[in-house]
């Protein structure tokens, strides 16, 4: 087992990782930017190294400074958390060159899944259902239009280097194709320096349901059931739950098997997520594979009673998994509490937290790095807490969430707590009848 892990991240996920390391008797090293010197991850780690000024590119994204911090502290592994360098193949390979275990995917797996068209081809070959469309990249406008006609409108153009909606355009009819093609390519080129595009049939009003998987160094893989992440705004998830209200035992078995196929196809090592789009007929299609721990991992942990960070560390250390699948025996919901104003287009609201009261009690978990007097820097993302509730049934988990939200007091900054209170009351949320389109028609104070 590792003796010392450096956590190349900040905020709640850095704390989350430090907590598991403590329970495993592993020493921890925090790294921090000057904006984070008063942060809890710095205080709770055994050692801390300042790696630079506030901008991410000079600190949490600066590979040489992080490697230097690992070398001076003699860390034998690095946990990248989510975001930042967690899916950076260059970082994964530089760690290996320095004899430091990267707790995450191999450079090959990261590259293979990072190129979306290539990931799709890999999955199709492995027998995972994919959305009808191009084989590989589109050659030019003319052949794109030909394929769009064959597939049938509406279609969606996607940047192969994309993800998160950038470089993506829905095309409803042939007359709109050329403009969409030009705009998507320009956006992809500006955002990723790669204008490679592929095309798919557009699935209307899908659900976003993802399967948590784990694979070990010995070729075994298993699934840990699903999370429904359909409540999103501009490709940002705001609330996740498990089980999905749309799930059936039969669909879970089929999606679980497909996710395991996906993991085995790339000899996946570690924990990962296979994202699917699910249509109203319960057809499901591979969308993307994430080779990192995700923000919403706690809801899975709660319903299967399983520490996913511990599993990541064990797999990285060469400990085999049992290979058995896990099924939810409870219901869990996560609300992402962001320092944003839900009454003002979710505008970021950084600043000092003057008053704080954190909810507790039966069925409540809060993963957060904030405290009274803490100043939320404007340099990083705005999530300040994950409020998770769990109960035997969905209805009880929602009731507990409403109770916990009503106890949560964060003063000094605006937060998304009022949004979640209204979401929990919304009839379409209560009934479980929601898709990725749900928030497009959502207005504050209408429920």
Round to whole Å and give the CA distance between 288 and 114. Answer: 9
Q: Tell whether residue 273 is a contact of ligand MV4 (CB under 6 A).
A: no
Q: How far apart are CA 293 and CA 24, in angstroms?
A: 18
Instruction: Report DSSP state, residue 59.
Output: T
Q: Residue 163, interface with ligand MV4 (CB under 6 A)?
A: yes
Helix axes 177-192, 141-151, angle to 10 degrees: 120
Alpha-carbon Rg for the chain in angstroms: 22
Least distance CB 77 / ligand MV4 (angstroms): 30
Among 55-63, 202-210, 354-362, 379-387, which window interacts with ligand MV4 (CB under 6 A)? 202-210
The answer to whether 292 is a known catalytic residue is: yes
Q: Does 419 sit near ligand MV4 (CB under 6 A)?
A: no
Query: Measured from the CB of residue 275, what is the shortest distance to ligand MV4 in angstroms?
Result: 7
Q: How far apart are CA 62 and CA 42, in angstroms?
A: 18
Q: Which residue has the tokens 């928030």?
A: 439
Structure tokens at 60: 């949490």
Window contacting ligand MV4 (CB under 6 A); options: 59-67, 106-114, 200-208, 310-318 = 200-208
15 binds ligand MV4 (CB under 6 A): no
Q: Which helix (H) or strand (E) is 118 found in, with range?
A: helix 116-125
Q: Which of 90, 98, 149, 235 binds ligand MV4 (CB under 6 A)?
A: 235
Q: Six-digit token pair at 104?
A: 């995450």
Angle between helices 394-407 and 417-425 (to 10 degrees): 150
* Residue among 41, 79, 169, 208 that touches ligand MV4 (CB under 6 A): 208
Please count the other Cβ atoms lying within 10 Å of the Cβ belonging to residue 247: 20
Considering CB under 6 A, how many residues would be counted as binding ligand MV4? 16
Nearer to ligand MV4, 286 or 408 (CB): 286
206 belongs to the binding site for ligand MV4 (CB under 6 A): yes
Helices (H) and strands (E) in the chain, counts: 14, 22
Work out how close the CB of 168 gets to ligand MV4 at its nearest, in angstroms, rounded to a whole number: 6
Indicate whether 200 belongs to the interface with ligand MV4 (CB under 6 A). yes
Q: How far is CA 166 from CA 159, 169, 191, 411, in A?
A: 7, 9, 8, 34
Q: Which of 66, 287, 299, 391 binds ligand MV4 (CB under 6 A)?
A: 287
Q: Which of 194, 232, 236, 421 binds ligand MV4 (CB under 6 A)?
A: 232
Q: Is 363 in the site for ligand MV4 (CB under 6 A)?
A: no
- Annotated catalytic residue, options 16, 292, 336, 394: 292
| C-alpha dihedral sign at 123, 127, 128, 131 | positive
Q: Is 120 an interacting residue with respect to ligand MV4 (CB under 6 A)?
A: no
Nearer to ligand MV4, 238 or 397 (CB): 238
Closest CA to 19 of 301, 215, 404: 301
Residues that bind ligand MV4 (CB under 6 A): 131, 156, 163, 165, 200-203, 206, 208, 232, 235, 277, 287-288, 436
Q: Which residues are part of the catalytic machinery? A: 292
């Amino acid at each position: 087992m590792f003796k010392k892990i450096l956590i190349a991240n900040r905020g709640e996920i850095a704390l989350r990782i430090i907590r598991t390391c403590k329970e495993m008797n592993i020493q921890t090293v925090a790294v921090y930017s000057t904006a984070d010197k008063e942060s809890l991850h710095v205080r709770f780690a055994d050692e801390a190294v300042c790696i630079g000024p506030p901008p991410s590119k000079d600190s949490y994204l600066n590979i040489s400074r992080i490697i230097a911090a690992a070398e001076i502290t003699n860390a034998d592994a690095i946990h990248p958390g989510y975001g930042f360098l967690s899916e950076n193949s260059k970082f994964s390979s530089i760690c290996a060159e320095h004899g430091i275990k990267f707790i995450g995917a191999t450079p090959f797996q990261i590259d293979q899944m990072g190129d979306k068209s290539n990931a799709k081809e890999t999955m199709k070959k492995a027998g995972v259902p994919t959305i009808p469309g191009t084989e590989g990249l589109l050659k030019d406008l003319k052949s794109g239009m030909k394929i769009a006609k064959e597939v049938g409108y509406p279609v969606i153009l996607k940047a192969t280097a994309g993800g998160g909606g950038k470089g993506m355009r829905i095309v409803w009819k042939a007359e709109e194709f050329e403009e969409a093609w030009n705009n998507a390519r320009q956006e992809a080129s500006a955002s990723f320096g790669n204008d490679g595009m592929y095309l798919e049939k557009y699935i209307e009003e899908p659900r976003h349901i993802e399967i948590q998987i784990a694979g070990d160094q010995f070729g075994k893989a298993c699934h840990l059931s699903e999370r429904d992440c359909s409540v999103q705004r501009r490709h940002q998830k705001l609330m996740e739950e498990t089980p999905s209200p749309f799930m059936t035992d039969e669909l879970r078995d089929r999606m679980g098997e497909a996710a395991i196929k996906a993991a085995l196809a790339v000899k996946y090592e570690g924990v990962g997520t296979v994202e699917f789009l699910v249509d109203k007929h319960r057809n499901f299609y591979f969308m993307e594979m994430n080779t990192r721990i995700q923000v919403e991992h706690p809801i899975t942990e709660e319903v299967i009673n399983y520490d996913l960070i511990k599993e990541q560390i064990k797999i990285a250390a060469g400990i085999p998994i049992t290979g058995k699948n896990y099924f939810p025996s409870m219901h869990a919901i996560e609300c992402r509490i962001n320092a944003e104003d839900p009454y003002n287009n979710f505008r970021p609201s950084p600043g000092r937290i003057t008053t704080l009261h954190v909810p507790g009690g039966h069925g409540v978990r809060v993963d957060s790095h904030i405290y009274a007097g803490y100043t939320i820097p404007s340099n990083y993302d705005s999530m300040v807490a994950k409020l998770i509730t769990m109960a035997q049934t969905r209805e009880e988990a929602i009731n507990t969430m409403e109770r916990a939200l009503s106890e949560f007091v964060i003063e000094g900054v605006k937060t998304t707590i009022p949004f979640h209170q209204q979401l929990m009351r919304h009839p379409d949320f209560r009934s479980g009848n929601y898709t990725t389109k749900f928030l497009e028609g959502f207005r504050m104070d209408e429920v």
